[in-house]
Structure 1
Amino acid sequence: MTRIRITAAGHTFIAETHPDAPLTVAAFMNLLPYRQKLIHVRWSGEGVWVPLGEFQLGVGFENHTSHPSVGDILFYPGGYSETEIILAYGACSFASKMGPLAGNHFLTIVEGRQHLRKLGTTVLWQGAQDVVFEKM
């Protein structure tokens, strides 16, 4: 497993790649360092997301789930809703206004998990936050 540093809202997290999403991991690694904005989810509960519109990573569904655990990061390749990355910081059921969605679980936060709720509430109450994903 490869480790990735994620920095957002004054917090640093370390994530490991998920072995059951090799195509998603490989494609995402080619984007690093990757800079975006995190905003709070609208339909999914306690999560933050990176809306990617029509962006295509070039992967389909691998180990997709609708119920990420705290610290799980999913990539949704698009279809019923726009392409996106979602990070669960609490109870989360991945969905859009079109209904339930499922994304590839490609990263898991393994260090800094104790700061995830603070990240989520910062994004909720203070708005969009810069996020950087980078190789370690």
Structure 2
Amino acid sequence: MLTVTAAGFTFAARFETDAAPKTVAAFRERMPFEGKIVHVRWSGEGVWVPLGDMDFGVGYENHTSHPAPGHVLLYPGGISETELIIAYGGVDFSSKMGQLAGNHFITLTGGLENLPKLGRRVLWEGAQPIRFDAD
């Protein structure tokens, strides 16, 4: 069981172990994982966790530029900083450097009715805490 708690909302989730095994393993090593989410600047309806030069030691796997609502991506760094992005609506993953693709390694499976509320809270109230826990 994987739980994501963000901005006062709790979401059940699953790792996409078959599709992104290296990303899942690298992220699991850092759990519980805590950070701050802010609203995306260029990508649409998403929130992200800026991670600077954090190195997860992974390349691309199961990567996409168009995650569905509830998909969590890890951008492993390169032309932009390392980051996590969570889609709550339509996303075209980009940065000031242009189009990006991130590894889809977590899918939110419960509490999805709160995704739009999460996005609005982060947009209008600013940075919010986020935590990933595995049972």
The TM-score bracket by the shorter chain reads over 0.9
Matches within 5 A, 1:119-130: 119-130=118-129
Q: For residue 50 of structure 1, report the CA deviation from its aligned partner.
A: 0.2
- What residue in structure 2 maps to residue 87 of structure 1? 86
Between 66-75 and 3-12, the greater mean CA deviation after superposition: 3-12
- What residue in structure 1 maps to residue 12 of structure 2? 14
- Within 2, Cα distance between the matches of 1:10 and 1:52? 21
Matches within 5 A, 1:49-64: 49-64=48-63
TM-score, L = length of structure 2: 0.97
Q: Report sequence identity in percent.
A: 58
Matched, 1:42 2:37: no
Q: For residue 124 of structure 1, report the CA deviation from its aligned partner.
A: 0.3
Which secondary structure state, in structure 1, belongs to the residue aligned with residue 114 of structure 2?
Answer: helix
Q: For residue 126 of structure 1, report the CA deviation from its aligned partner.
A: 0.1
Unaligned runs of 5+ in 1: none
Q: For residue 90 of structure 1, report the CA deviation from its aligned partner.
A: 0.3
Letter in 1 for 2:86: L
Which secondary structure state, in structure 2, belongs to the residue aligned with residue 39 of structure 1?
Answer: strand
Letter in 2 for 1:17: F
- Within 2, Cα distance between the matches of 1:16 and 1:116? 16
Letter in 1 for 2:9: H
Q: For residue 8 of structure 1, report the CA deviation from its aligned partner.
A: 1.1
CA deviations over 1:46-70 (Å, ceiling 9, x no partner): 0000000100011110111000000
CA deviations over 1:27-60 (Å, ceiling 9, x no partner): 1011111110000000000000000010001111
- Within 2, Cα distance between the matches of 1:22 and 1:14? 19
Unaligned runs of 5+ in 2: none
CA deviations over 1:102-124 (Å, ceiling 9, x no partner): 00000000001110100010000
TM-score, L = length of structure 1: 0.97
Task: Name the Cα RMSD after superposition.
Answer: 0.6
Matched, 1:77 2:76: yes
- Within 1, Cα distance between the matches of 2:37 and 2:95? 16
Q: For residue 4 of structure 1, report the CA deviation from its aligned partner.
A: 1.2
- What residue in structure 2 maps to residue 110 of structure 1? 109
Q: For residue 88 of structure 1, report the CA deviation from its aligned partner.
A: 0.1
- Within 2, Cα distance between the matches of 1:90 and 1:41? 12
Q: For residue 78 of structure 1, report the CA deviation from its aligned partner.
A: 0.6
Stretches of 4+ aligned residues off by more than 4 angstroms = none
Which secondary structure state, in structure 2, belongs to the residue aligned with residue 27 of structure 1?
Answer: helix
